[in-house]
Structure formats: C-alpha cells, structure tokens
Chains A and B, each alone.
Chain A
Amino acid sequence: MSMRSQVLVEHHGVATGKNMTTWQTLRRGVELSPELRKGIWVTVALAVLSTLGRVLVPFVVQRITDEGILADGGPDMRVVAGYIGIALAGVAVTAVSAYFVNVRLFRASESGLATLRRKAFRHIHDLAMLTQNTERRGSLVSRVTSDVDTISMFVQFGGLMLMINIAQVTLATVLMVVYSPLLGLVVWLCFVPLFVIIRKFQGIVGRAYTRVRERVGDMLGAISEAVVGAQAIRAYGVEDRTAERIDAAVEAHRKAAIGAQARSVVAFTSGQLVSGLTTAVVLVVGTVLAARGSLTLGELLAFLFLVNLFTQPVQQATEILNEMQNAVAGWRRVIGIIDTPADVSDPGESGVTLPRGPITVQFNEVGFAYPGGAPVLHDIDLTIAPRSRIAIVGETGSGKSTLAKLLTRLMDSSSGQVLLDGVDLRTIRFSSLRSRVVLVPQEGFLFGGTLLDNIRFGRPQASEHDVRLTLTELGLDPWVSTLPLGLATDVGQRGESLSAGERQLVALARAYLADPDLLVLDEATSAVDPSTEVRIQRALDSLTRGRTSIAIAHRLSTAQAADEVIVVDAGRIVERGHHTELVRLGGVYSRLHDSWVAQQQAI
C-alpha cells in the first residue's frame, strides 16, 4: 500500500506518447480519426484549383505589363481587358473552390476529432482503475478537451494553409523555371539553409511546447485545489498558501509559454529573413541577366511577384510547422492515452455470459501485489456459497478492500484465479459481469441532477415507480419525504447539497435498483447513522436472500448479521465462521469485537 503511488507512476502510468515521432503521431492520429482521410483527395484537388487562380495573377500582371502597357505603339486596352477578364475568372474559381475546401476541411476535421474525443473518453473509462488513479482527473479531462482543441486549430487553419501552400510552392516553382531556370535555381538555393534551420528548430520548438502542455497540467491541478478543496482551505485559513502554490504553477506556465514563443519567433523570422534576402539576391542576379539581355525588365518584375508567391507560403509553412508541433504534442497525449493498454480488459464477444441467479464465488490461491510493491494478499482460498451473506472484517491495510476490488474485477489478481459460478472472472463479458456484480464504494459519487436520476443511474430504464419501490424496500421512504422536493430534489454538484451519509444512502439505493446477483458493499454505510444503518441492514437481510452479498465493514454490527464472517489479517484469511463462534475463539476477531463493544458500551 505504502509504495503504491510511486510504483504506479512507473509501471502502470498512462503512456505519454513522448517517444512517438511526428510522422508516427500523424499517421496514428489519422488512423484513429478516419474521417480526416475521407475525401481528402477531392479537398486537395479543390485546394490546387484554388491555388491556380492565385498563381494566375502574377502571370497576368507580367502579360499586361509586357503585351498590354508596353505593347509596340502604346498601351493596348483590348489586350489588358482580355487578361483582366481571364484573371477575374481565375479569382472566381479560386473563391468558389476555396469555399468548398473550407467547408470540407471543417466537416472532415470536426467529425474526425469528435471521433477522437469519443474514443479517448471511452478508453479512459475502459482503463484499469489503477491506471486511472495514476493520472490527475484534470489531466484526463484535458485529453478530451484542450489537447483535441489544439489539434483542431492546426488541422483547420494550418492544414488548409499547408495544403494550399504546398500547391502554391509547386506552381510558383514551375512558373519560375519557365521564366528563368537560373533565377528559379537561385531562389531554391537560397531556401536550402532555411529547410535545414527549420528541421533543427522543429525539435527545439516541439520540446518547448511539450513543456508548456505539462505546465498547463500542473497549473490546472493547482487551480482545481482552490475549487475542490474550498472547504478545507477556508477551515484552515490557508488561502494565502494555496494562492502561493497556484501562483508558482501559473508562473511556471507563463515562463514556459514565453520560452516557447521566443523559440518559435526565431524559427519564424528565419523564414522571413531568408525570404527578404532572396528578393535581394534575385534582384542582383536578375540585373546581371537583364543587362546581358536574357531577361526583360517586365520579366524581372514579374519574377518578383513569383518570389513573393513562393516565399509567402514557405514562410507560412514554417509557422504552421510550429503550430503543428503544438498540435502534435496534444495529439501525442491523446494517442498516448488511447494506446495505453486497458490491463483489466473486457473479453468482449468471445467472453462468457453468465446466466442470472445467485452466484458462487471462489478464490483459488489468489495473491495480489500492487505493481512493483510488496504482496498485499497471499494465497487466498475461499468459496462463498450462493445466497450467503458474508462480512469481511480486518484492520485498515489488512487487504479486505483489495479482496472486494478483485472480486468485482476492478483489478486482476497477480496470481491465482477468481471464479464466479466456476468461470474465471477474466473470461466473463463486462456487460454480463457489471450487471450481475455491483460494488458500492465508500464514497459514492453523485452526479449533478435530481435524486431520481441519480438512483436510476444504474438502471436508466427503471420507472419512477421502481425507484419508489426500492426506497420503500430499503426503508428510506421517511428520509426521502424530509427532502423538500422528494425524488425531484436536486442533489447539487457532486451531490454537495446532501450530507455524506445521505450520499451513501443514494449510492446504496442506486446499486440496489441495478438488481445485481452479487452485491459487494465496501464500507458503504460508514457515514450513515446507526439506526438507519441497522434499518438498512435488516432490509438487506430480508432482500438479499435471493442473492449473494459481501460486506466489508469496520462496524461490526454488519458482521453480527452475516451468515459468515471472514477475518483478514496481513493479507491472509485468518479466521472464518459465524460471529458467535469467532467471538468465542478468542483470536483476531474477538479482539476487534472487544474494541467495538467497548465503543458501544454505555455508562
């Protein structure tokens, strides 16, 4: 138990995807969001078409200059008007195809990313409980929110630009070569160092943005304490200390963000610098060529348009590549979580579906150790007969909660087997397992909404009548009637308008309504008052006749009511039997019982 957190992070953590290359990330990203690829070639074709219109302009400018304005015998209005007509047509084609590119790209990317969000969300729920617990909740949330948002920013703005830019660079190159192969070569030669610089900076900028994302996670964690820990902070007057902790996280994020910005500015301006210097070089070389008569002034000036047409997209591309690093960092995190194996996984279609009816539970030489930690359970051999009511008791840290988690397959045993009705737990379909075996944990989370909706969470198709019946059976009617709106009462965020004991009552009713064949209660009534607890206990007694129930409790009232008590100590079952027998035995249980009785001792 003690080494748990450290060990988990090493062995059971969520994959960060850090070791994926950009290319692998993009490929895996597209694989996870197939919508991104669907119809991409039509979009690319449209993008090329829209670029054609753009490239038409410098061409027309050159023709108008050379054949229209500088025509022999004075400017020729007819030629000028003709070329302008062609250019206008080009502009129209560009605009229309750009519209479709935009719409198609948004539809593809938003659909693809919605799919990615859904897959990540679903997978987070499918991850083993231990894996979920290694991550901050806020950090899990960012995998389906802000991380995906950075991708969408890139795909929609950058992706479109990148496509257009590539087409534009290609076309500009072709035109440059047509005008003057030598100048075209000069332009390309000037840009070679830029490509080298960009490659180098990509890594630097990419790492800087990964750091920023990590700092965002820390910052969200710190801020969430001010929100979730509002009560504790006020009770201890530690507002200032909390503020300092938040400030430190905010400051670390600010520094990381400015650092990343500075690096990306250097990368971006190197593009602009090269572009500007290229213009200068082209003018110098062009002048030499023009002086030799192999280029007209009109051609040289038109070439400057082409250089602009070439450098603008390249410059933009350097910036987009920076943005891409940001997006890839986000994408890595999402892919990392999706590719984290769900250690405790659903056998799915091939799995066994158990028939309904009371369940026999069997542990065969079961051992359990948290990853990398010392064993918590040793050689547990245990058979629990159907329809029996079992209480598991033991001191804190004895391993009794671990038993409950193995039994409900929130975790898998390290050795040995857990069998339900003779079937290995690992081969049972989750849909079957979860409907037949339900765990009620100590802190039953409630959703913002009405009491009715919360109780119905385990079985949404249940009618209000079913819910009322459940409450009546559990003897909770009187409690519900004290609530202002009865079942329609809003329980508030996380059920905060209810007390902890009341939340446990809701959690219990919720599990009860789900109607499992094996009910596992892990300290499920620890915050409920004794007379209500006894009342519930009795209700469960009469109602669990048809099912198997296992209760983990340190209030021994539960143990007294059970058919059989199992005493766990230091990871082993040390005693087993009926309450009265165990009390007489004078062992671990009788000691626990003595202190329990001492607590109840009045006068």
Chain B
Amino acid sequence: MNVPPTSTLREGLAVIGRGIKDQPRWFALAVLGSIVYGVMTSLTAAAIGFVVQRAITPAIEAGHASAQQLWFIGGVMAAVVLTTIIGVIGRRIAGGVAMYNLGAIYRRRVTRQYLRLPLSWHHKHPSGQLLSNANADVEATWNIFAPLPMALGVVVMLVFGIVQMVVVDPWLAVVGLTVFPMLFLANVAFQRAMSPRVTRAQQLRADVSEVAHESFEAALIVKSLGREDHEAERFRTVTDELRDANIEVGRTRGRFDPAIEAIPTVGTLAVLFVGTLRVSSGQITAAQVVQIAYLFSILAFPVRALGWVLAELPRAVVGWNRVSAVLDASGSMTFGSRALPSGSASHVQTEGLAYAYEITTEEGEDDVNPALVDVTLDVAPGSTVAVVGPTGSGKSTLTNLVMRLVDPDSGAVVVDDIDLRDVRRGGVSDVAALVAQQTFMFDDTVRGNITLGAQHDDDSVWRALHVAQGAGFVEHLPDALDTRVGERGASLSGGQRQRIALARAVIREPQLLILDDATSAVDPSVEQAILGRLREASSGTTVLVVAYRMATILLADEIVYLEGGRVVDHGSHEALLGRCVGYERLVTAYAREAAEREAIAAGEEHDAELDDELGDGPERGAGAAAEEVSR
C-alpha cells in the first residue's frame, strides 16, 4: 500500500502521458488557453507598470488627467483582461472536455473487459468493486486533467515572471529564483506525505461502497430477520475508519497548506527588503519594487495549481492501478474461428469433464471446491436428456460448461464434433440457448428482454410467449410488450420472470436448448403446459434439461443421474428406477411421501387396510404409489 513517492510521481506522469495520448487535441487546446492565461497574468503587473509610467505619473505631475490618458489606461488594462479571459475559457472548457472524454473512453474500455472476461473472473471479483472500478476509479484517474492545464500555464507564467524580474533587477530575480523552487519543493514534500494517506482513504471508500452494496442487495433478508441494527453496525465500522482516514488527510493538508501559502508572502517581504536596499543604493526606483511585489502577489495563488496537480497525483495513480487491473486482466477465454453447423439439432458430447470453483480458506489460502469430477455424456441430436441429481451435485455447473460459460479444468465439451474451445466468439450462443435457474432481466421492455435486440416481429415474440405460457400476463401489463420491467425485472414476480426468460430462449429457435430447473417458480399446471408446448415447438432441437419433476423427466429420452460431480448412471427412466438407488430415492420422494401420508391418513380411518398397503408399499415403484395418490 505504501507506494514510494518517487514512483508515484513517475507513475503519475505516465498516467498523464496516457491521457494526453488519448485526447491530444483537446489537451493541446487547453494548454494553449492556459499559456495565454499565464502570459497575460504575468504581464498584468508589467501592464500596470507601463500605464503608471506612461499615463498615471504624467497625469499626477500635470495635476490633471486628460481623457486620452484615461482611455489609454482603461484600454490597455481591458485588453489584458479580455485576452486573459479568452485563455481561461479555452483552458477550462477544453480541459473539461478532455477530462470527460477520457472518463467516457475508459468507462467503455473497462466495461468492454467486463463483457469480454470469462465468468470465472467475475466470480472472483465482488460486484461492488467492479462498479467502483468503472465509476469512481475512472473518475479519480482523470480528475487530474482539471488542474493540469492550469498548472502548465503556471509554469509559463513563472518563466515570464522571472524574466520580468531579471529585466528589472537581478537581485530581485534572485529572490524569485529562491522562492519559487522552495514553493515547488514544499509541494513535492506535501505530495509525498499525502500519497499513502490518500491511498488508504480511497481503499476505505471502496470498502464502504462494497458493504453498502451487499447490504442493500440483501435488504429483504435484513428486514425479515430484523438485522438492521447489525447491518448498521457493520456499516458504521467502515464509515468510522473512512472518517478517521479522511481526518488524517485533513491534518496532513493542514500542516502543509498554510506553509505553502506563507512562502510567496515571505517572498513579497523579501522583495521589499532587498528592494529597499537597492533603492537606497540608487539602482532601481520605488515603482519597480512595487511592481515586482505586486507580481509576487498575483503569482502566489496560481502557483498553487502545481500543488493541486501534485496532490491529485496519488489519487490518479491509485485510481489508474485499480482501473488497469481490470484492463490488464488476463485469463480471458480464448476463441477459435470455427462456427458450429446450423440447420439441424446439435450432437453434444462431453469427455471426462472436471471443474472446480476456486475458493479461499479462512487462512486466506487458495483452495478448490470440485463441482464436477468426471462427466462423460453423449446426447444424440434431437434427443432430450434429463440431468437429475441431488442439490449441489454439479448440474448447473454442467449446463454452464455445455454453454461454454466456463471452460473445464480437464476434459472437453464437443458439439457436432467440434471442441467448443475452437468455436469462434459468439458461436455457441448462435446455436444454443440456456435458461438459467436464476433469471436475469435487463432494465428494458418485455420485448427487449425477449428479443435482446435481434430482429423479431411481434408475431414471433407473442408465439414465443405462448410457448412459455407468458402471453396471458403480458397482455395484461399496462403497455403489453412495451412495458418496462424495471431494474432486474423488479416489477415482475419470479414466475413471470422465468416465463420471459423461457420465451427469450424459445424465440431463438435454438438447436440446443439447455434448461436449468427453468420452471421452478411457476405453478405445476403452468409448468405442464410449458413442457407440452415446448415439446411441440422443439422438434428440431436437442434438449438438455435439469429437472426434479417426474413430468419433466418423463419428457426425456435418456436420463443422466449425477451425484458428487460424477455420472452415477444413465439410461431410461425404467432402467434407472430398477438399478439406481439414489435416482429412485430422488424421483419418487414426493410419491413415497404422499403414499405414506395417505396411508397414515387412511390408516386412522381404516386400520385394517393399512397392513395390506404397507405390505407391498416400499417395493413398488413410484408409479404405483402415485397412482394410489390420485385414486
């Protein structure tokens, strides 16, 4: 965290260089404006000296000021002022444009990375941090472009000022040459002291944002468990740390600021002292001393712009380091150049797939949590395969791998004899569609959420909605397809979101449709209807479906039973029921439960019948038991 200041200066200059390279014209314009401003400001004192000599002194000596003299005074001063103002406007507007353009450029670059980097990268980075990278950190990096042109103008101003001093009197120039470097050194010392403190404050600012983000996302849980006090306490801890860090920044600023301000004043006094000596020895006039003293008072304030730039440097460097961590993030997914064949249902094969999530232990060491250990599958074109397994057995991970959202640690996913890693960018989503367990809605209209920007007419949108059993509720929305769903689809219920997500997949007429428990939030009757329509609609489609429901499972030509990240068994439902204990236990759970309860209920009424029913109960399959339920 404690970056050596010299490297901060170097890194800071590198950041500035990068910014100039991206916005050379606006920056040049801003610097030009600033130079005009700098030159004119330092000429103000000379202009005053000039009018004093040419008009004011003669007028005083004559005891009368002519109109011509007065116009001369006013004219010269107004010209100086107007030129200065033009410089200022140029500097500020062009500087602002450069700064905001840079912000926009880097926000685009950072978010491109978010879109480009693989899902596994996203899993490792808190979303609060990523938001802060794209917003606050980009801003912190380029804020330096606000005072920078001014500071460069000030350098020009100083050079002009010193030239004036040399012209008037070399001894007074010596005072200037002592004071201004001192001012610069004081600013450097200031920046060195500030750098680590500012870095810390910025890190804490990001922490505050992260806590707030997480806590607000969890608002419902916090409320329903009554943990508001606890959350407020957690937030208080980070805000207090931020407060203390900021106060420390203020204390440091307090130590340097007044000293830096005092230096030019002391310089003015030194000019008067030396000037008096020079006047005594008859080398210069009193008016000249006053002119140089005035020059000091004019320069004192702008010179601080150098300090502002130096003060912004650490912030810019920290911001840039955080931004560039995203821009330089590697481990990107590599793509081939091949396209998956289109026009017929896909043939999906996986060979010895293994995948583990990276986790961090309590000791902060990296460890892995294996989700898939060894999964080999062969899904024939046009077939429907159900993936069944207990909670946490790796089903969703498998769907992510088949969709190539993540790459396997070992093994391969092969579709139509092409390894997915050889497929070009966007090639997988061209032919395949995944409806994830948890749906994501864009802050867009219902239509936009279904078409995702592709060209589909309203008829096909409605057709897709009919398949997904969503047409009914969409018709009743205030603006039907044009209804905005709000952030993350906040205005819709979970079941409504799932149906829109299904329609989103259906409208693409995919060759491979992957459903990851995609109907968990809809009613059984709706689910039945969806599955029925899906079956009709997806004749040319290979379907991989993660399911718990018997009805869904029964749509499948083949069932793959996963447990602990391995394929324990696969085959037809009947075959698995007979030989796979885990599978049987899972899919018949409801029916067995129902049967038992039914039996108990019946037993209470008809004790006699109970023995008969229980006698052959456990040995029978779920079918028999369920039949009993529906009796």
CB distance from B256 to the nearest CB of A (A): 9
Per-residue contact bits, chain B 231-273, to A (CB 8 Å; 1 contact, 0 not) = 1100110011011101101110111011101100110110011
Known A114-B240, A265-B92, A301-B290: A235·B429 in contact at CB below 8 Å: yes
Rounded to whole angstroms, the CA-CA distance of A555 and B594 in the bound complex is 12
The residues of A that contact B591 with a CB separation of less than 8 Å are: 600, 602
Are B119 and A231 in contact (CB-based, < 8 A)?
yes
The residues of A that contact B64 with a CB separation of less than 8 Å are: 291
Rounded to whole angstroms, the CA-CA distance of A443 and B224 in the bound complex is 13
Interface of A is mostly: helix
The residues of A that contact B551 with a CB separation of less than 8 Å are: 598-601
Rounded to whole angstroms, the CA-CA distance of A209 and B222 in the bound complex is 34
Are B127 and A493 in contact (CB-based, < 8 A)?
yes
Are B390 and A308 in contact (CB-based, < 8 A)?
no
Which B residue sits closest to A242, measured CB to CB?
Answer: B115
Known A265-B96, A534-B590: A149·B205 in contact at CB below 8 Å: yes
CB distance from A168 to the nearest CB of B (A): 12
CB distance from A318 to the nearest CB of B (A): 13
The residues of B that contact A107 with a CB separation of less than 8 Å are: 247, 250
Are A91 and B361 in contact (CB-based, < 8 A)?
no
Which A residue sits closest to B89, measured CB to CB?
Answer: A269
Are B297 and A502 in contact (CB-based, < 8 A)?
no
Choose the segment among A36-44, A92-100, A197-205, A383-391 that binds chain B (4+ C-beta atoms closer than 8 Å). A92-100
Per-residue contact bits, chain A 233-252, to B (CB 8 Å; 1 contact, 0 not) = 11111110111111100110
Are B48 and A439 in contact (CB-based, < 8 A)?
no
Are A531 and B585 in contact (CB-based, < 8 A)?
yes
Within 8 A of A (CB), among B372-404: 389-392, 395-396, 400, 403
Are B524 and A234 in contact (CB-based, < 8 A)?
no
B contact residues, total (Cβ < 8 Å): 207
Residue A574 interfacial (CB < 8 Å): no
CB<8 Å pairs between A and B, sample of 12:
A118-B236, A238-B452, A291-B60, A293-B63, A297-B57, A458-B225, A490-B359, A500-B438, A527-B517, A530-B548, A530-B586, A531-B585
CB distance from B342 to the nearest CB of A (A): 14
Residue A542 interfacial (CB < 8 Å): no
Residue B485 interfacial (CB < 8 Å): yes
Within 8 A of A (CB), among B40-97: 44, 48, 51-52, 55-57, 59-60, 62-65, 69-70, 73-74, 77-78, 80-82, 84-85, 88-89, 92-93, 96-97
Are B621 and A602 in contact (CB-based, < 8 A)?
yes
Rounded to whole angstroms, the CA-CA distance of A424 and B622 in the bound complex is 47
Per-residue contact bits, chain A 508-534, to B (CB 8 Å; 1 contact, 0 not) = 001100100000000100111111111
Residue A469 interfacial (CB < 8 Å): no
Which B residue sits closest to A433, measured CB to CB?
Answer: B226
Which one of A247, A440, A502 lies within 8 Å of B391 (CB-CB)? A502
Known A84-B269, A479-B391: A273·B587 in contact at CB below 8 Å: no
Are A494 and B217 in contact (CB-based, < 8 A)?
yes
The residues of A that contact B483 with a CB separation of less than 8 Å are: 2, 5
CB distance from B133 to the nearest CB of A (A): 9
Within 8 A of B (CB), among A164-222: 216, 219-222
Residue A80 interfacial (CB < 8 Å): yes
Residue B495 interfacial (CB < 8 Å): yes
The residues of B that contact A32 with a CB separation of less than 8 Å are: none
Per-residue contact bits, chain A 300-316, to B (CB 8 Å; 1 contact, 0 not) = 11001100100010000
Choose the segment among B8-16, B104-112, B153-161, B534-542 that binds chain A (4+ C-beta atoms closer than 8 Å). B104-112
Rounded to whole angstroms, the CA-CA distance of A470 and B271 in the bound complex is 81
Choose the segment among A328-336, A355-363, A395-403, A415-423 that binds chain B (4+ C-beta atoms closer than 8 Å). A395-403
The residues of A that contact B74 with a CB separation of less than 8 Å are: 280-281, 283-284
Rounded to whole angstroms, the CA-CA distance of A11 and B359 in the bound complex is 44
Are B269 and A88 in contact (CB-based, < 8 A)?
yes
Rounded to whole angstroms, the CA-CA distance of A95 and B246 in the bound complex is 21
